[in-house]
Amino acid sequence: MRVNKDELIAQLRERFHYTKDSATAMLEDFTTLILENLEVGNVVSIKNLGQFKVIERKARVCPSFTPGEMYEVPSHYIVRFYPYKQAKLAAKKWEVIDKEGQD
């Protein structure tokens, strides 16, 4: 299941009794802070979740869709997320659920 911004706002309202406007403002402010920090090169660490970091992907050569041809992908920057232990454990729960469903 994919959870979008509106669903996160609804969860904030339901679980923590935010108003719709305050939940929307809080989520937008939080996102803005993360993006602003990434833009200036800061690493953003959130306890029990993980770390957001801008890294450089080096230039590389990849095969083209045309057989026998190669093309160069220039170096560029991306945002990388490194999950902390709690986030990894949340993902591990899905392994257990998946194995139980296959039996």
Query: What sign does the CA torsion over 21, 16, 35, 75 have?
Result: negative
Residue span of the structural domain in which 94 resides: 5-102
Give the per-residue pLDDT at 98.
Answer: 65
Query: What global pTM score does this model have?
Result: 0.76
The predicted pLDDT at position 97 comes to 65
Number of independent structural domains in the chain:
1
Residues 39-91 pLDDT 10s: 999 999 999 999 999 999 999 999 988 888 999 999 999 999 999 999 999 88
pLDDT level of residue 103 (50, 70, 90 thresholds): low
Q: What is the pLDDT of residue 65?
A: 86
Which ranges constitute the DSSP H helices of 1-103?
5-16, 20-39, 85-102
- The CATH number covering residue 68 comes to 4.10.520.10
- Please determine, for residue 101, whether its predicted confidence score (pLDDT) is greater than 70: no
Q: What is the pLDDT of residue 99?
A: 67
| Cβ–Cβ under 8 Å, residues 79 and 57 | no
- Read off the pLDDT of residues 18-28 as tens digits, 9 standing for 90 and up: 999 999 999 99
- What local confidence, expressed as pLDDT, does residue 68 receive? 85
